């Protein structure tokens, strides 16, 4: 296994007889060689992972079906707000830490698919932040410019993928935590439809909005992992029975929405604005019809996430630490979560009412489009800038991400280009719940067409073989009120 090898290539090699134990050993060797202790909060004992790899390989001899597991022998990393039995769950707050006795449902399903966990990755504390800097465990290095933020909150998971330490990782996404770090690491960040993947065993940020996200080098790999972990779960009351179609070809004549030109916010970043124009042109070359739409109601919904009572959900998750040992929390995280205690029940209901109004308005936009293509982030800043202005700059990063879960949409962040200064630029495809496969079909073709290296590994994107059968997307009608 070389750094940058995809899940698909790795599984194919294992099925052909390559050693799973050797693959796992090389993953640990790369972690040591990369030498960034801020990526993992807890690295699993290598001997334990090797024992699991040996047992998996041994089962193959007795049961040929083991070799057909979709993630057979793939080393994976897990964000440290997701339970892995026997490894501490910290949510990047040592005072909160506990050792779970059982795996989160998504981790258990990964293991059943043949994956092998090697460690727990760093994050913005309590998954509150989009920068990847609000953690006592160090800041993972941005692999394209060490001065820049890595993006968060799933910073460790995204950087582990970009560096080629593992080909697959889990994160979480409430406000953009799985998409923003993907954009800043030149990797894929898949945020599924709400409820498609169980949150049982995941430390909540906003329990009504949280998603487990998937990080990978290619869309095909991310979708394979999604298929392995998706499905209803009685242990999660927010689980839903979404239908997940197979990964197919780009739908014919797909209508892709872009904000009206005057609504495209880049905060003075001309390079990102130009990169977005180039991305739209590439989508058009792939056969998409670009349709402009009104972004204003989506921006208003985005503001509700941190200006409204959903911050109170974040307060609930960290309540024990806030009330007993507030000094143990990152000061910016503490400031944000304490604000959640100020909202009244009347405030909450007023926000719920406004959100329902916005949902109707935003749903109407999908009469004219099948999905959106948005900049994942409008601009990027340095670690020092984040320290100097931690609230406002973090908010900018969520310009095109914060509304997605509030409006019950699915999203896929895909690399688009490397700017002249070497900074990655990515776009996010966004569609109504249940359209995960449609996003993956277009995202897969878009990423291949970009002709970019995978993450920061220098490895080329695998040859693209278009599927023959297109994904069917539902054309929506909105009933007038």
Residues labelled as active-site residues: 79, 153, 177
Rounded-to-integer distance, Cα 427 and Cα 183, Å = 8
Tokens matching residue 158: 């995204």
Q: How far is it, in rounded angstroms, from Cα 35 to Cα 27?
A: 13
For residues 9 and 68, the answer to whether their CB atoms sit within 8 Å is no
Specify burial of residue 62 (Cβ count, 10 A radius: 0-12, 13-18, 19+). exposed
Token pair belonging to 55: 């047992």
Antiparallel, parallel or unpaired: β 289-293 and 116-121: unpaired
- Please give the full DSSP string across 183-208, using - where no structure is assigned: HHHT-EEEEPPTTSB--TTB--SSTT
Q: Alpha helix locations (H) across 212-344?
A: 219-229, 270-285, 296-307, 310-317, 319-324, 331-339
Alpha-carbon gap, residue 209 to 212, rounded angstroms: 10
List of residues 6+ apart from 427 with CB closer than 8 A: 276, 279, 373, 374, 375, 376, 413, 414, 416, 446
Query: DSSP letter at 84?
Result: B
Q: Give the C-alpha separation, 191 to 204, whole Å.
A: 16
Instruction: Name the 3-class secondary structure at 410.
Output: strand
Q: 349 — alpha (psi -120 to 50), left (phi > 0) or beta?
A: alpha
Is the peptide bond between 153 and the residue preceding it cis, with omega within 30 degrees of 0?
yes
Q: What number of residues does the chain have?
A: 481
Closest CA to 440 of 271, 240, 246: 246
Kind of pairing between the strands at 116-121 and 40-43:
antiparallel
Q: How does DSSP assign 80-124, residue by residue? A: TTB-BTTB-B-TT-GGG-B--SS--HHHHHHHHTT-EEEEEE--S
Helix axis angle for 345-365 and 296-307, nearest 10°, is 160
Q: How far apart are CA 182 and CA 222, in angstroms?
A: 12
What tokens were used for 41?
């909060």
Query: Dmax of the chain from CA atoms?
Result: 63
């Amino acid at each position: 296994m070389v750094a940058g090898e995809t899940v698909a290539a790795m599984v194919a090699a294992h099925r052909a007889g390559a050693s799973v134990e050797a693959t796992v050993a090389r993953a640990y060797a790369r972690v040591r060689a990369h030498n960034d202790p801020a990526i993992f909060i807890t690295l699993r004992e290598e001997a334990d992972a090797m024992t699991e790899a040996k047992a998996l390989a041994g089962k193959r001899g007795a049961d040929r079906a083991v070799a057909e597991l979709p993630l057979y022998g793939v080393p994976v990393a897990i964000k440290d707000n997701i339970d892995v039995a026997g490894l501490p769950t910290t949510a990047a707050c040592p005072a909160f830490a506990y050792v779970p006795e059982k795996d989160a449902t998504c981790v258990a399903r990964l293991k059943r698919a043949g994956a092998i966990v090697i460690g727990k990755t760093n994050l913005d504390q309590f998954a509150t932040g989009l920068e990847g800097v609000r953690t006592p465990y160090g800041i993972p290095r941005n692999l394209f410019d060490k001065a820049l933020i890595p993006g968060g909150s799933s910073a460790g998971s995204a950087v582990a993928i970009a560096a080629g330490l593992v080909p697959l990782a889990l994160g979480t996404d409430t406000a953009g935590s799985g998409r923003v770090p993907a954009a800043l690491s030149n990797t894929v960040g898949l945020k599924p439809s709400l409820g498609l993947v169980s949150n049982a065993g995941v430390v909540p940020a906003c329990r009504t909005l949280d998603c487990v996200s998937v990080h990978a080098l290619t869309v095909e790999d991310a979708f394979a992992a999604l298929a392995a972990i998706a499905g209803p779960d009685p242990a999660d009351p927010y689980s839903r029975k979404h239908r997940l179609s197979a990964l197919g070809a780009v739908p014919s004549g797909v209508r892709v929405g872009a904000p009206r030109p005057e609504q495209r916010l880049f905060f003075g970043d001309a390079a990102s604005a130009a990169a977005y124009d180039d991305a739209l042109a590439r989508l058009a070359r792939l056969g998409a019809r670009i349709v402009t739409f009104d972004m204003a109601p989506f921006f208003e919904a985005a503001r509700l996430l941190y200006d409204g009572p959903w911050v109170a959900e974040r307060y609930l998750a960290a309540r024990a630490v806030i009330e007993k040992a507030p000094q143990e929390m990152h000061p910016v995280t503490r400031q944000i979560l304490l604000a959640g205690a100020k909202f009244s029940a009347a405030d909450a209901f007023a926000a719920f009412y406004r959100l329902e109004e916005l949902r109707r308005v935003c749903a109407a936009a999908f009469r004219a489009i099948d999905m959106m293509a948005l900049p994942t982030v409008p601009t990027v800043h340095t670690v020092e800038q984040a320290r100097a202005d931690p609230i406002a700059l973090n908010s900018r990063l969520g310009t095109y991400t914060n509304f997605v879960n509030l409006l019950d949409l699915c999203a896929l962040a895909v690399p688009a280009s490397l700017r002249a200064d070497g900074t990655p630029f990515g776009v996010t495809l966004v569609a109504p719940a249940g359209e995960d496969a449609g996003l993956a079909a277009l995202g897969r073709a878009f990423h291949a067409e970009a002709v970019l290296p995978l993450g920061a590994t220098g490895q080329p994107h695998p040859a693209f073989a278009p599927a023959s059968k297109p994904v069917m997307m539902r054309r929506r009608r909105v009933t007038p009120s």
